[in-house]
Structure 1
Amino acid sequence: MASTPAVSAARYAPSRRDRVISFVLAVLVGVFLVFVLLIMSSVTGGGGEPGGQLVAVNISPPSAEKEKAKAAPKQDQKQEQVQTVTTPPPKLPPRIEIPSKNQVEWPPGFIKLSREDIAKADISRIKPAGGGGQAGASAGGGGNAEGTGEGPGGARVYNAEWYREPTRAEMSPYMSAARGGSSGDWAMIICRTVERYHVEDCREVDESPRGSGLARALRQAAWQFLVRPPRVDGKAQLGTWVRIRFDFKAAKAGDGDGTAGQD
């Protein structure tokens, strides 16, 4: 009776062949499951667009330190802009004139004029005077001289009175460049009286014939002229403007270096 349970247990236990087959089937099932999982992962992971990413948003107000850090660069930029605007331009070095050996030597008595002086001496801007005066118009002995406001800036201009008339030798060097100087031609200039009967700042007014250059020649020779200053209340007025009209006439025999041909 004791051997009956052992025989029944051995009878119902699987055989060795059945256990081998079961083991092989279990291995095949496991390999199949692994294969299925690999295929599913390759299908779901390839191709499509990547999914969205979670982003954490901080809605709390910025701290005071962050605001100061942002405001600091802006203030630096404003200061740099102000500095660039207020920076003064660099000063240019003073002009140094280098002496040159090739300097122009002007003839004695040459009057050098600036552009402003040439513009003021433009005949076309000055009202032409009448045709019939004389250079030796009297400025009055002890009385009051009369003048008109035809000078620069509306200054009064008086008729000139010769202290000594210019000689032909004094006039001829300047007349050589002019076209004219024959009988009936004339030129007019205005000058400012200075000490010792001399004149300066002479300017061309009118001439006949026009474009002959007689007024220019008269102005260039005026540094030699000796003219009495006009008198007002018996006092000589230095620094006033006088009108000098020079009328040309034909030279007379025996004139030599006498007075020039003015009327």
Structure 2
Amino acid sequence: MRLADWCRERYAGLDPEWRRKAVGLSLAVGIEALLVLLLLSLGIVNREPVPMSDSLVTVTMSENPAEEDEPSEARSYPAEDSPASQAPQPPQEEEPVQQPTDARQTPVPALIAVSPDSMRSLDISRAQPSRPIVGAQPYGPVDTARPGDSQRIAGSGPNGEPLYAARWYREPTDQELQGYLSTASGPGYALINCQTAPQYRVENCVLVSEGPQGSNMGRAVLAAAWQFKVRPPQIGGRPQVGEWVRIRITYDVRPAVPPYSR
């Protein structure tokens, strides 16, 4: 009682601010004490001893489910064979099995008599090999991407430059040539030499020949040459921009289709 009275007197003599602090401190200490008690109570576990015993469990697996249902007492084991029963038995002779004979017999192929002269004439080793058939070689710009140096052809540029067969990068379309070739009288052709320029263009084109003469094919092709896309010649695997190439343009006149009439 004296301790409680002393605590009340001390509490009454404290400043009001210290009283609030004392209340908060006591509450914090009480909460922490409760948490400690809860943690300690969680670690208490009643463990009951479990008796341990050594036992052996045998499991028998059987492929036939019907055999598992039969009691073990019902199983009988064969007795050991007596010496008399173990005596070797004489081998029994097996009767040969007769194969069924086919009533239809295979016909014997007929033999054709051949004379020695005929045999020599039929000997294919003496036949002469036939000559290979060589197709017509195309003439004009070769649109191929085969590696290697470009093919040099006869002729030269305006100042004696080497001349190569042209290879199209993109062939001109009918729409691109129609406006220029409409001024020429076809059918005909024009052969021109051009100097390759960057971006697969050609420039400085000159007329070599045209046919028929006076058909204005050369003038029309020279006017349309600014649209041509030609690969520069390759020498040593590298494109040579600025070399001269030969281009042939053929103009075929197609007859107009008459309008449909009943």
| Alignment TM class, shorter chain as reference | 0.3 to 0.5
TM-score by length of 2: 0.42
Higher RCO (CA 8 Å, separation ≥ 6 residues):
1
TM-score by length of 1: 0.42
